[in-house]
Amino acid sequence: MQLTLVQLEQRAGDVDGNRRRAADAIERAASRGADLVALPELWNVGYFAFDSYAREAEGVEGPTLSEMSALAAEHDVGLLAGSIVEDLAASAEVGIDVPADEGLANTAVFFDRDGTRRGIYRKHHLFGYGSAETRLLTPGERLPTVDFEGFTLGFTTCYDLRFPELYRDLAAAGATLVVVPSAWPYPRVEHWTTLSRSRAIENLSYVATVNGSATFDEGTLLGRSTVYDPWGTTLASAGDDPALVTAEVTPDRVESVRDEFPAWEDRRR
């Protein structure tokens, strides 16, 4: 399966432009043979645009994710539509199960090749270090997995990388590829690479981290979107500029690594 991470250029206050850039990148990825495409965290509004969160929030069936569903179907790709600021009340109105009747969440949605919504993941761990996330957003409660092209996909978001128990729970649920939309800023480059690789190594699974490319008044995203294999080996990566990061991943690779190095069987709980 060909996996493509869209390290997207984001501009604060330019939701329409960010959506156009995302659509163009998805089309380019599909034209190059992508089976699964992933976007970064809060790519449409920009992570640091805290004052815009409430204004730009929308439900799971709002305009941004409706467009993403259509693009998945048009280009015949699985699409993890990064994450958006979700208006929980708007989602509840159309029958979506939500963690609270009102408020906002940092929400990633996966669409199958026909545009069907298959999974919703709301960021569990909200970042409070110089960020307004903990004040503005409601944390998620569920940890879904989705079967796609022989993989069991799991999803987490950015700061979640610092909490290994979340990834162990996903692995226990059968996840063989975890995709991590992010908005990880400078200067914490070593944290980004070390934590991501560690989550792959300790769970003997693929981990794909898709970061943005942007500069805001509050910080600059460091890019470096990367696909790690179950050994923690880097299969594909980027610098800090906008890029499409593509790697071939296979479910058999997870099985062979776990057979060769059966650390899961040696766990003492």
Cα dihedral value 36, 233, 235, 245, nearest 10: 70
Give me the catalytic one of 56, 86, 123, 133: 123
DSSP 137-179: BPPP----EEEETTEEEEE--GGGGG-HHHHHHHHHTT-SEEE
Q: Which of 9, 41, 56, 133 is catalytic?
A: 41
- Looking only at the bridges linking them, the beta strands covering 215-216 and 219-220 are antiparallel
What is the spatial distance between Cα 186 and Cα 192, in angstroms, rounded to a whole number? Answer: 10
DSSP state of 42: T
d(CA 38, CA 81): 6
Residue 265 is among the residues annotated as catalytic for this protein: no
Burial class of residue 89 in the structure, from the number of CB atoms within 10 Å of its CB (0-12 exposed, 13-18 middle, 19+ buried): middle
Examine the residue annotation and report whether 123 is marked as an active-site residue of this protein: yes
Q: How many CB atoms lie within 10 A of CB 86?
A: 29
Residue of 9, 58, 86, 158 marked active site: 158
Cβ neighbours, 10 Å, residue 121: 26
Best CA proximity match to 112, nearest among 60, 82, 70: 70
- Catalytic (active site) residue 58: no
Q: Cα separations (Å) of 57 from 63, 97, 160, 256?
A: 10, 17, 22, 43
Report the C-alpha gap between 101 and 104 in whole angstroms.
Answer: 10
Distance between CA atoms of 172 and 205, rounded to whole angstroms? 11
Instruction: Give the pair of three-digit tokens for residue 21.
Output: 């850039």
Which residues does the annotation mark as catalytic? 41, 123, 158
